[in-house]
Chain A
């Protein structure tokens, strides 16, 4: 069952029950008051009746001048009196002590009722109290008053009845009216309720539609919702969710795209050396006369290109394993690592006639020594490659506030700002032919970025074409000891 149906049905039934209970109570209350009034009225009538009968007996006794009248006489007189007193709207009856009917008037309806007979025989009126009872005969209601009446020393039971059907008819009429009114009221209320529930909950169905659209992959949809505050909050939260889904989806797409580019670049990088290898090997195979010069030239190219493939696969393995294997970080002196890297680079520095000037403060960091040295090696090697003969490379390691910063500065060829943005991408080469000549595959800086990330460090580059490049490694204070 839907929420609006639940709200609607439960409030509607509550309203109907309340209307009915209240109106039934009101009707019953007024009925009770009327009955009470009738009761006192009936008692008055009874008293009038009893007094009249008693007076007739006394009057007849005085008229006869007797001290005591006989039972038969008394009953005769009483019966006469009853007949004389008879009124159309009320009945009366007199029973002797053994509950035998002396006389009755307008009493046929009651006499015929078995309930009346039972009540009469079980009733003991000797205490002189009034006993009131209502008997129903068909749609006729009769209020009866029973009490004892003493005539000439003998006790009788006198009964008067009055027709109160009107009161009951009134009650049933009122009940009918109340029922009609409650049905109409319920109809009106249900209409109002329905409209208000639907109006209040309409934003919910709008939210629902939007949510479905978002779930179907339209992550750029945002819910616009006016309505109660809860619904506004809900739609705001849904929007926040859609935001995060959208950004995550975009991020995943970017990753997938990067991977695609990576694989495409990798295939290209592999095919280039393979083309030379296959081509020259094929030439050696099919050519009849290959001079010694040609043979050594072809074989030289094959060896060179094979080495390129080997270095490519080595770099790739490094790139892939760096992130996945657990690196062992321990406190190590920056000075020591820089000195060792400088020593390893000496042949390359000498070959290019480039000088490396190091200035290092006493800093100890948490690092995987081999990886960090490879980071320094790669960056200094890049600086050497960019430098011209006789130039200097300056390496400076010092504390800047909480962070340790290593800067590697060359005065070489530099690069354009659009290149700086992309140099960390795998296979990106600023100058393809120059970097190929140097045996690069464009993976060095991607590797550096990964190593830096592993050490909680960041790499940044400042460069200007013709002016040189400075690379900064910023190691966060947490990694410094």
Chain B
């Protein structure tokens, strides 16, 4: 687990240094370190050394736990722990890292070594976020992943990159600082009651705070994660950042950085402050629903292909937010599924947008059209991912959205009904984009090259993955079920055996 991170960090450094030797070497190094870290993750899937930790009366299962003192003065430790949910997210991260390296294969001419360095360090930071269970350590990685991402956008971005990079950084950083205050208040509140200072998730979980304070602290965590998610009304950084970022950064941003927000909500916000979270559940679900509809509406109005995909992300992540705050096992499973599926489908669409931009030197859909005739493989693949995005049964996104809606219906009918509208609007903007870009008449035949082996080798695994998730999602359910069940139980609601019933 720690080795995965070190591999990525070392890979980044080596890629940077090796640039002086040969300009093509950095990307091979990145590919190698992604492969190596992927290989390192495999044993975790089969690990038998499961550790049971009792969290305020609820037993939870962890695949691996590492705890080394770091700053004993504050009870801060290198507390890394990975469970099914964490492993799923780490796997997604490494896989999309792979895709990001491939997608930027021929895009970056300027300082390729430093580019790969930033790419690898972003990945390492995100992996860190998914496995850190010391709140200080978590915050540390939460911030660490921003800096290389800032550089990716600021150095290799498009025409308006300075503005986009700054906005991205400011939004996430300020919300992060609010979370830091909340973390500290939680820790010091715990210290005031027990006399012991600790940042360990395991200790802080289940600790009863004063309800008022608890509400404020929950808001601190909530804001940080919802900005990252991004939920309405904190989503405004996303379209700018996505549009201006280079393809690889867009892939990472959409694929995994947004997922850290959802992960944080599931892992921290709700379990640490269940009562307070329950208080604002309706509001949060409302925000999610607004995000779904508003994101779809704005996506429909865009001319810039990347902006369209960015707004569709807002819409899709709205489902995740609704699912998390409905807080039933069905919706949680749905949210996790949606996170993974959205990671695949959006990453693929951003890669598509990058590929088109590289070929046509524009992101404006008005200047496209009729691409299918010239590049049938691109057309077909784009069709696949657009259809996945609009929630076609048989693909991963459908499973996620369906479960979220199914579970939410039992909690709040109005929200479920409104959110369902998102499926319709999703079809509208998805198909409109498809028509504008790939169908219609091509005005001038420019002879653009179709997808080659390199791009296909990135797209096909994602298509296979989405299809598998769509037709047989059970392995993923099984993987995260223990985590969700213990979290669910922790918050004081009895677990149900719904996974079995779905079989």
A, B in one complex: no
